Amino acid sequence: MTLNEAIFRPVTALKGVGAKTAEGLQSLGIYSVYDLLFYFPYRYDELENLPLDQLEDGQKVMLKGIVATTPYQNYFGYHKSRVSFKLRIDHDVIMVNFFNQPWLTKQLSVGQEIAVYGKYDLRKQSLSAYKLLASKKDDDDGMEPVYSVNRQVKQKKLQTLIDLAIAEGLSGLGNAVPDDLRERYKLLSDHDLVLAMHHPKDLAQAKEARRSAVFREFFLFQMQLALMSSKNKSHSGYPKKYDLEEIGKLTKSLPFELSPDQKKVINEIFADMFVDRQMQRLLQGDVGSGKTVVAVFAIYGAVTAGYQAALMVPTEILASQHFHKITAMLEDFGVRVALLTGSTKTLERREIYRELADGSINVVIGTHALIQEQVVFKKLGLVIIDEQHRFGVAQRQALINKGDRPDVLAMTATPIPRSLALTVYGDTALSEIRHLPAGRKPIQSFWKTTSQLDEVYALMRQQLAEGFQIYAVTPLISESETVDLENAEALQERLAGDFPGQTVVLLHGKMASSDKEEIMDRFAAGEIDILVTTSVIEVGVDVPNANLMVIFDADRFGLSQLHQLRGRIGRGQTQSYCVFLADPKTEAGKKRMKIVAETTDGFKLAEEDLKMRGEGDLFGKAQSGLPEFRTGSIVSDYQVMVVARDEAKRIVQADPDLKAEKLADLQAMIEYSKLVQARA
Ligand code: ADP
Ligand code: MG
């Protein structure tokens, strides 16, 4: 079975998918039939099989029986259809109706033993069926996949679409992992793993399928890395003859002295830039450790050597924050800095394009907008990618390709162990800022349970009374953005009620970026007392007066992420506090809360995180500091990543253009993934 390119057709090619649904799917990262197939459930509900006489009206249930009449299909309304038949269950007969799954007529015949899942209507003695579990003949109960969804695309809709994609596309899927590798590691074909991930017969089968799915996902990622590094193999580049005198002036202009770690790292970067090899360096350092300042030195170095520099960050808030900081540091030196994001107005954008092309802009800071085709540089010599795990390999490469082998500096605020960094990011030199600038007071951290909420409130009142501001953070805890938003809204209301007279405002990821920016500006200006937010990751802003952070349901975050959140405070001269509010049920959960409350070293926490992960989270959610994977967890599936890397390297070494017939499907899937990244 080889890949049929039709698998990559847009979701709108499927029946029942209009522009609105397509938009909703897009925000889940689903563009095509192929994407639907690989949008896996994050958990399964086990379906109960109950006798008819125990059913209540409206109950969701799985029923097993024998098809008693020929399925009859009729259409009604616009694009609506129904497949109906009678199902014999022991001595009873009920009516089964499937809506909008017309293909089922072909899959059903009289006498067939089936299981169906749906909602029971007691009065009509009928089942509104969602799902046919035709393959289920054994006695154990079924497994209902549960997907991460959003407001526009609800659970049932997504299930239907995925089943439709399976029905129409699965046979043309092909295989990402070549046959010989699949055999060696006993992995399922793409066809089998997709089926088993969506509709496993039991948890054991789901686990088995997941093993194959994780390998496949990591393998595709590592193939892209390997191809990229084989393309950049020579690593030859241009030496940057920067002006040391000017750089000395920049050092003197700072309101503080560079920390020893900053000096060391700046020297490492300058050494790379000075030679005729392309720099490939990853700078790791905690939030607030002073990476931005280091970036400014690299930028100014490139500019004094006659080159342009580009800094790409994942969100508009971060982009504008960096823009203001960097402009402030460099404008006295005659460096022209521009900001380019999705919300830059057309006229201004055109002007920026023009001035980047003619070289009158020295530095551009922006989001994905930087990799648009229209962005052309006169002489791009340095590319900096902040929070690089938030970008795809192809996105990074797209920016790099805008220069002639420019130096590349990636930065990340979540330190990860060296071995892991090298495995996940490929061939790269590492620089680390391990110590915060002198004079910072370490943040005092506490773990409190909800029964101690009074104490937490007391601390909040005391801080507010002293004129400080507070972050209240709630995690993304459910599969649905709607529910998460409701959680955050509920918290905002609760705090507004409990802290009368204080301004309590909600900031969340789904807001328009202009609204987000306005709220952050108000918070920075001290007009908001308590900022409730779903994901402070979005909030890069430095607000020294925000002295206290309370993280609700803290046990739902990973250690590294908690640490990164905490890094948003402690920027000022005063003592600051972080409270982790959580009632962890497991020993491991309790231990994690203790560790994060006791340790402020991000590197240590990253290692602890690595050690402790892997047990409970079968369907591990993405953790920050690392690229997001849908299925695999780099931490708990680390060994799989290593194998995938080695195999990918071997393949690319032997066949850098993927000419072999057995790599044709893989090639097509990689090309497709590049297309998706270019769109995102
Ligand atoms: P990061 O980008 O790593 O989060 P920043 O570069 O934004 O950190 O620095 C955080 C804060 O610390 C900024 O307000 C910055 O001006 C300040 N800072 C950076 N380096 C030093 C230093 N050596 N001494 C004192 N303050 C510093
Ligand atoms: Mg930063």
Question: Please, which residues have CB less than 5 A from ligand 2, an ion?
Answer: 292
For residue 493 the two structure tokens come to 């209301």
User: 56-97: per-residue pLDDT in tens?
Assistant: 888 888 888 999 999 998 887 666 788 999 999 988 999 999
Pocket mutation for ligand 1, best pick of 266, 284, 287, 293 (most atoms within 8 Å of C-beta): 293
Quick check: 280 and 429 in contact, CB under 8 A?
Answer: yes
Q: Which strand (E) or helix (H) includes residue 44? A: strand 43-46
Whose tokens are 């648009």? That residue is: 372
Q: What pLDDT score does 267 carry?
A: 96
Residue 536 in tokens:
């402070």
Cβ–ligand 1 distance for 321 under 6 Å, the answer no
Calpha distance 84→97 (Å, rounded)? 5
More confident of the two residues 138 and 461: 461
Pocket of ligand 1 contains residue 308 by CB under 6 Å: no
Q: Which residues pair with 46 in a beta bridge?
A: 143
User: DSSP letters of 312-329?
Assistant: E-SSHHHHHHHHHHHHHH
Query: Ligand 1: does its nearest atom lie under 6 Å from the Cβ of 290?
Result: yes
Does ligand 1 have an atom closer than 6 angstroms to the CB of 288? yes
Residue 447 pLDDT: 96
Give the atom of ligand 1 at the shortest distance from the alpha carbon of 289: 3
Q: Is any ligand 1 atom within 6 A of the Cβ of residue 474?
A: no
Helices 587-598 & 602-612, crossing angle to 10 degrees?
170
Average pLDDT over residues 433-460: 90
pLDDT band for 632, please (50, 70, 90 cuts): confident
What is residue 138's three-state secondary structure? coil
Mutation pick for ligand 1 pocket among 250, 291, 292 (CB with most ligand atoms within 8 Å): 292
392 or 405: which leads in pLDDT: 405
pLDDT digits (tens, 9 = 90+) for 278-334: 999 999 888 778 999 999 999 999 999 999 999 999 888 889 889 999 999 999 999
Cβ neighbours for 107, distance < 8 A, ≥ 6 positions apart: 132, 134
Q: Which residues does residue 118 pair with via DSSP β-bridges, in sequence order?
A: 61, 129
Handedness of CA 272, 233, 675, 479 (dihedral sign): negative
Q: Is the CB of 258 under 6 A from ligand 1?
A: yes
- Cα→Cα distances 479→30, 32, 59, 475, 629, Å: 16, 21, 22, 12, 16
- Pick from 264-273, 346-355, 387-396: least confident: 387-396
Q: How far is CA 636 from CA 475, 640, 658, in A?
A: 21, 9, 30
Domains of the chain: 5-42+148-232+633-679 (no CATH), 49-140 (2.40.50.140), 237-433 (3.40.50.300), 444-599 (3.40.50.300)
Residue that the structure tokens 């948890």 belong to: 203
Q: How far apart are the first and last CA of the chain?
A: 30
In which residue are the tokens 């490492």 written? 268
**pLDDT surpassing 60 at residue 477:** no
The tens digit of pLDDT for each residue in 143-179 reads 788 888 887 888 889 999 999 999 988 888 999 999 9
From the CA of 258, give the closest atom in ligand 1. 23
Helix (H, G, I), strand (E, B) or coil at 417: coil
- Cα 336 to Cα 19, 323, 331, 361, 364: the distances in Å are 41, 11, 7, 5, 9
Q: Of all protein residues, whose CA lies closest to atom 10 belonging to ligand 1? A: 288
Q: What is the pLDDT of residue 628?
A: 67
User: How do the residues of the chain divide into helix, strand and coil, expressed in percent and rounded to 5?
Assistant: 45, 20, 35
Q: DSSP state, 440?
A: P
- Ligand 2 centroid to Cα of residue 393, in Å, is 20
Query: pLDDT grade, residue 232 (50/70/90)?
Result: low
Over pLDDT 90: what percentage of the chain?
54
